[in-house]
Amino acid sequence: MLRYVAASTQARKAPDIAATATSAPARPRPIDGVFRALSDPTRRGVIERLSRSPASVSELAAPFDMALPSFVEHLRVLEGCGLVRSRKSGRVRTYQIAAERLQLAENWLAEQRALWERRLDQLDDYLLELKDKKK
């Protein structure tokens, strides 16, 4: 009985994570879906292949050791976040890369790179200033 009381007391004192996370966006941004899709090595491989030329589902699936329905799910994720587009001609579905979404990710990464370069430059200046003061 004592353990139950202690556990329930601790549970009441713990902060509600959902209530304290006010900075989290209400809806995921398109960039989130892009990075989520690119987090998987199979999907990155598909993007690499499509960067050369459009390809059919069977061409894209050939190098991967998985069942076709599983592979098609990867294509759905890529298409769902806008990284690829497909068109059907007869019985063949062909995929191609959608450069706009990749550009979105590239722009975000460039912004982050610039931000961290500025911060590191400021740190470098500060450390050089401290070094000069010691002399």
Residues 6+ apart with CB under 8 A from 110: none
Residues 6+ apart with CB under 8 A from 86: 75, 79, 93, 94, 95, 96
DSSP-derived letter for residue 29 is -
Residue 120: what residue type? L
pLDDT: is 125 or 20 the higher one?
125
**pLDDT tens figures, 41-59:** 999 999 999 999 999 999 9
Domain presence at residue 77? yes
Is residue 62 classed exposed, middle or buried when 0-12, 13-18 and 19+ CB atoms within 10 A define those classes? exposed
Q: How many domains does the chain have?
A: 1
- What value does the mean pLDDT take over residues 11-25? 48
Where residue 33 sits, what CATH number does that domain have? 1.10.10.10
- pLDDT-wise least confident of 24-28, 69-73, 127-131: 24-28
Write out the residue range of the structural domain in which residue 59 sits: 26-105
* Structure token digits, residue 115: 């931000």
Closest CA to 58 of 44, 72, 45: 72
Q: How far apart are CA 34 and CA 86, in angstroms?
A: 17
Domain presence at residue 124? no
Q: 46 and 83 in contact (C-beta within 8 Å)?
A: no
Domain presence at residue 135? no
Q: What is the mean pLDDT of the chain?
A: 84
Q: How confident is the model at residue 134 (pLDDT cuts 50, 70, 90)?
A: confident
Q: What is the pTM of this model?
A: 0.68
